[in-house]
Amino acid sequence: MPVVANIFAVSCTVEFQGSDFESQIPPSPLPRYNPAMASILVIGPHPDDQELGMGGSIARLAGQGHRVHLVDMTNGEPTPLGTPERRAKEAAAAAKILGVERTLLGLPNREVVHTLDARHRLAAVIRRHRPNWMFVPYPIDAHPDHVATTRIAEDARFDAKLTRSAIPGEPWHPKRIIYYYCTHLMMNFQPVFFLDVSGQMETKIAAVRAYESQFIENKSPVVEMVRTMNAFYGGRIGTPYAEPFFTYEALGFGGLDQLV
CB nearer to Zn ion: pick between 53 and 234? 53
Contact pick of 49, 51, 196, 243 for Zn ion (by CB under 5 A): 49
CB nearer to Zn ion: pick between 46 and 69? 46
Instruction: Determine, following the binding rule CB under 5 A, whether residue 46 of this chain makes contact with Zn ion.
Output: yes
Give least dist CB 49 to Zn ion, A.
4
Instruction: Determine, following the binding rule CB under 5 A, whether residue 45 of this chain makes contact with Zn ion.
Output: yes
CB nearer to Zn ion: pick between 113 and 237? 113
Instruction: Determine, following the binding rule CB under 5 A, whether residue 82 of this chain makes contact with Zn ion.
Output: no
Instruction: Determine, following the binding rule CB under 5 A, whether residue 121 of this chain makes contact with Zn ion.
Output: no
As to burial, measured by CB atoms within 10 angstroms (0-12 exposed, 13-18 middle, 19+ buried), residue 22 is: exposed
Beta bridge partner(s), residue 43: 71
| Strand pairing class (176-180; 193-196) | unpaired
Residue least distant from Zn ion (Cβ) = 46
| Binding region for Zn ion (CB under 5 A) out of 26-34, 48-56, 85-93, 197-205 | 48-56
Tell me how many degrees the CA angle 88-92-94 measures, rounded to the nearest 5: 115
CB nearer to Zn ion: pick between 142 and 260? 142
CB nearer to Zn ion: pick between 160 and 208? 208
Contacts of 47 (CB under 8 A, 6+ apart): 72, 75, 76, 87, 88, 90, 91, 94, 102, 211
Beta-sheet strands, E only, within 91-221: 101-104, 133-137, 176-180, 193-196
Tell me how many degrees the CA angle 218-241-236 measures, rounded to the nearest 5: 120
By the criterion CB under 5 A, which residues form the site for Zn ion? 45-46, 49
